Amino acid sequence: WGSLGHETVAYIASHYVETATKNWAQDILDDTSKDYLANVATWADSYRYTSAGKFSAPYHFIDAQDDPPNSCNVDYDRDCTGGKCVVAAIANYTTRVQSNSLSDTQVNYALRFIVHFLGDITQPLHDESYDLGGNDIDVTFNGDDTNLHASWDTSIPEQLIGGYSLSDAQDWANDLIKEIDSGSYESQKASWVSGLDINDAKDSAMAWATDANAFVCSVVAPNGWDGLENAELYPDYYNGVVDTVSLQIAKGGYRLAKWLDAIAAQAA
């Protein structure tokens, strides 16, 4: 996701976390503002372009070598090349954020990575290898040249919300919180966090990757990839996928709250 998606995930999580979790996270991040998670939600996307953070670039996705739209699936041994993928990263940083021996900076970075990667793993094209997760599929969105991956990351969310500022993210989060509490997501939110286990983070993250990857077959490219090449995505394609984008952002935020609650409780 782009900044709007990641910051919305963060605001949703901030709404649902326990007070003890908020205190734990604000202490690690050294930020007592209400925006303490949103303020670090896109840090990993800047860090990966620095020489110190270059190692983390493959941690934003898992390249599922499946065969959409005929067959969607994720296999850790097949797809997490060299142990460098978002599933391994979530497991790594879930351990590191609880460390008593790492520096404050490394623990702070671990929490920033968790906030970011629990967002990215819900973007279906971050759980797909085809054409570099859709980066090599050129499209136009409302007349602008872009690609399928970037459309999912940014164009579609920004078309829906009409901007990408922190206050746009807070507004989108508020809408999705209503859907989670008493709207279209109320009956499914329990399934989003079922089996969540910070002490088996790899299994939990594999379940999330598998869940998002299934949308590659059902929503991202249900009729295959050929028709998407050089296609205009607005409004027809957009209308067919935008509800899935909202669902995945809501899911990421709700999961992040429960994940952080579990870590903070174990740390206490």
Q: Does 63 bind ligand DCM (CB under 6 A)?
A: yes
| Choice from 7, 66, 153, 211 touching Zn ion (CB under 5 A) | 153
Active site residue 15: no
The reply to whether 96 belongs to the active site is no
Kindly identify the residues of this chain, within the stretch 206-245, that bind ligand DCM according to CB under 6 A. none
Determine the residue type at 219: V
Would you state the structure tokens that stand for residue 102, as one six-digit string?
A: 């790492």
Choose, by CB under 6 A, the member of 7, 66, 79, 153 that binds ligand DCM: 153
Name the binder of 92 from Zn ion, ligand DCM, none, CB < 5-8 A by kind. ligand DCM
Residues 22-51 that bind ligand DCM (CB under 6 A): 45
- Residue 33 DSSP class: S
SS3 assignment, position 109? helix
Residue 235, preceding bond cis, omega within 30 degrees? Answer: yes
Q: Which of 149, 192, 211, 255 is catalytic?
A: 149
Based on the residue annotation, tell me whether 153 is a catalytic residue of this protein. yes
- Binding of Zn ion by 60 (CB under 5 A): yes
Q: At 205, which helix (H) or strand (E)? A: helix 201-215
Do 213 and 66 meet the contact criterion of CB atoms below 8 Å apart? yes
C-alpha 62/C-alpha 94 separation (Å) is: 17
Nearest residue to the partner Zn ion, using Cβ: 60
- Residue 15 is a binding residue for ligand DCM (CB under 6 A): no
Catalytic annotation on 6? yes
Question: From Zn ion, ligand DCM, none, which one binds at residue 246 (CB under 5 to 8 Å depending on kind)?
Answer: none
- Residue 3 in the binding site for ligand DCM (CB under 6 A): yes
Nearer to ligand DCM, 22 or 151 (CB): 151
Compute the distance between CA of residue 208 and CA of residue 211 in angstroms, rounded to an integer. Answer: 5
**Residue 76: which region, alpha, beta or left (left: phi > 0; alpha: psi -120 to 50)?**
alpha
> Distance of alpha carbon 198 from its chain centroid, rounded?
17
120 catalytic, yes or no? yes
Q: Which of residues 101-130 bind Zn ion (CB under 5 A)?
A: 120
Q: Is the peptide bond before 69 cis (omega within 30 degrees of 0)?
A: yes
What b/e readout covers 222-246, taking b as 16+ CB neighbours within 10 angstroms?
Answer: eeebeebeeeebbeebbeebeebbb
Minimum gap (Å) between residue 178 Cβ and ligand DCM: 25
DSSP reduced 3-state for 72: coil
Q: Which of 17, 21, 28, 60 binds ligand DCM (CB under 6 A)?
A: 60
Query: Which residues are at the interface with ligand DCM (CB under 6 A)?
Result: 1-3, 45, 55, 60-61, 63, 92, 120, 125-126, 132-133, 135, 149, 153-154, 164
Q: Which residues are catalytic?
A: 1, 6, 45, 48, 60, 116, 120, 126, 149, 153
Query: Which residues are at the interface with Zn ion (CB under 5 A)?
Result: 60, 120, 153
